[in-house]
Amino acid sequence: MRRIRHSLCVLLFLAVTIGVGAQSAASELARRGMDALARERYYEAVESFQRALEENPNFLEATLGLAESYFWLEEHDRAQHFVDRAARLARNDPHVLNLAGRVAIGRGDLAAAEAYFRRVQELEPYNVEAVIGRAELALARGQSVEAVASLERALQLNPGQRRALLSLVLVYEHLGQDEVARRYLDLALSVHRDRPEVHVLAAQYYLRSGDLEQASRAARTAQAIDPLNRAAMTMRAHVALAERSYLETATIAEELIAGDRNDVNAWYMRAVALLRLGELTEALSSARTGLRIFPEDETLRIWTEWVAVERLDLDHPVRSELAHFRAANAAELERAFRYERAQKAYRRALQLAPLDVEIRRAYAELFRKIGARATYVQELVLLLDEGYDDRRVEQTVEVFASALARSVSSRWGVDQFTLTRTKPPVALYLRAVDSDRYPESEEALLSFLRRTIAGLDRLSLADVAVLPAYADAFSRARSHDVDFFIHFDVSVSAIGLEWRAGVYVARTGALAGELMTIRTGPDRAAAGADALAEALVRAVPERGVILRRDGRRAVVDLGSRDGVSPGARFNIIRPEALRPASDALAYAYRPEDVAGTFVITTVDDLVSEGSLEVSGFVDMIRVGHAVLAVPEDEPAVSPPTSGVRSGSPSPDLFPVLYERVRRLR
CATH number at residue 493: 3.40.50.10610
Residue 197: inside a domain: no
- DSSP 8-state code for residue 630: P
Q: With a cut of 70, say whether residue 626 has pLDDT above it.
A: yes
Same domain, 514 and 567: no
Residue 662: inside a domain: no
Instruction: Judge contact between 323 and 350, C-beta under 8 A.
Output: yes
Output the pLDDT for position 510.
93
Cα separation, 512 vs 541, whole angstroms: 13
Residue 261: what residue type?
R
Same domain, 518 and 613: no
Cα separation, 536 vs 456, whole angstroms: 11
Output the pLDDT for position 367.
86
The dihedrals phi and psi of 580, each to the nearest 5 degrees, come to -60, 140
Same domain, 510 and 581: no
- pLDDT, tens digit, for every residue of 129-171? 988 889 888 888 878 888 889 888 988 888 888 988 998 998 8
Residue 611: inside a domain: yes
Confidence band of 641 (pLDDT split at 50, 70, 90): very low
Output the pLDDT for position 254.
96
Confidence band of 331 (pLDDT split at 50, 70, 90): very high
Output the pLDDT for position 497.
83
- pLDDT, tens digit, for every residue of 258-286? 999 999 999 999 999 999 999 999 999 99
Q: Taking the CA atoms of the chain, what radius of gyration do you get in angstroms?
A: 30
Confidence band of 636 (pLDDT split at 50, 70, 90): very low
Same domain, 394 and 444: no
List of residues 6+ apart from 534 with CB closer than 8 A:
456
Q: How many CB atoms are closer than 10 A to CB 360?
A: 22
Output the pLDDT for position 147.
87
Least confident of 285-294, 437-446, 461-470, 634-643: 634-643
Question: How long a stretch of residues is the chain?
Answer: 665
Cα separation, 353 vs 372, whole angstroms: 23
Q: With a cut of 60, say whether residue 663 has pLDDT above it.
A: yes
Same domain, 372 and 468: no
User: 339-352 vs 357-370: helix axis angle to the nearest 10?
Assistant: 160
- pLDDT, tens digit, for every residue of 533-548? 999 988 888 889 999 9
CATH of the domain at 608: 2.40.10.410
Q: pTM of whole model > 0.75?
A: yes
Burial class (CB in 10 A: 0-12, 13-18, 19+), 319: buried
Residue 594: inside a domain: yes
Same domain, 373 and 429: no
Mean pLDDT of the chain: 86
More confident residue, 26 or 208: 208
Helix ranges, 243-338 (H):
246-259, 264-276, 280-293, 298-311, 317-335
Cα separation, 559 vs 371, whole angstroms: 13
For 184-198, what is the mean pLDDT?
93
Same domain, 430 and 527: yes
Confidence band of 633 (pLDDT split at 50, 70, 90): low
For 477-485, what is the mean pLDDT?
94
Top-ranked range on mean pLDDT: pick from 63-72, 192-201, 615-624: 192-201
Same domain, 391 and 450: no
User: 230-242 vs 196-209: helix axis angle to the nearest 10?
Assistant: 20
Measuring CA to CA, which residue among 153, 160, 126 is closest to residue 138? 153
Same domain, 531 and 435: yes
For 595-607, what is the mean pLDDT?
91
Same domain, 528 and 547: no
Confidence band of 395 (pLDDT split at 50, 70, 90): low
Domain count, the chain: 3
Residue 491: inside a domain: yes
User: 230-242 vs 212-225: helix axis angle to the nearest 10?
Assistant: 160
Residue 20: inside a domain: no
Residue 129: inside a domain: no
**Of the residues 536, 558, 584, which one is the last residue of a structural domain?**
536
Output the pLDDT for position 404.
67
Same domain, 344 and 360: yes
Helix ranges, 124-263 (H):
128-140, 144-157, 162-174, 178-191, 196-209, 212-225, 230-242, 246-259
Confidence band of 401 (pLDDT split at 50, 70, 90): low
For 232-245, what is the mean pLDDT?
95
- pLDDT, tens digit, for every residue of 355-364? 888 898 898 8
Confidence band of 648 (pLDDT split at 50, 70, 90): very low
Q: Could you give the C-alpha distances from 40 to 71, 225, 587, in angstroms and in order?
A: 12, 15, 56
Same domain, 559 and 610: yes
CATH of the domain at 380: 1.25.40.10
Output the pLDDT for position 13.
42
Least confident of 273-287, 395-409, 440-454, 523-537: 395-409
Residue 485: inside a domain: yes
Output the pLDDT for position 541.
86
Helix ranges, 39-143 (H):
42-55, 60-72, 76-89, 94-106, 110-123, 128-140
Output the pLDDT for position 349.
96
Q: Could you tell me how many helices (H) and strands (E) the chain has, helices first?
A: 27, 13
- pLDDT, tens digit, for every residue of 458-477? 899 999 999 999 999 999 99
CA atoms within 13 A on the CB side of 221: 19
Instruction: Look up the domain containing 605 and give its range.
Output: 543-629
What percent of the chain clears pLDDT 90, i.e. is strictly above it?
A: 46
- DSSP 8-state code for residue 638: B
Least confident of 328-342, 432-446, 520-534: 520-534
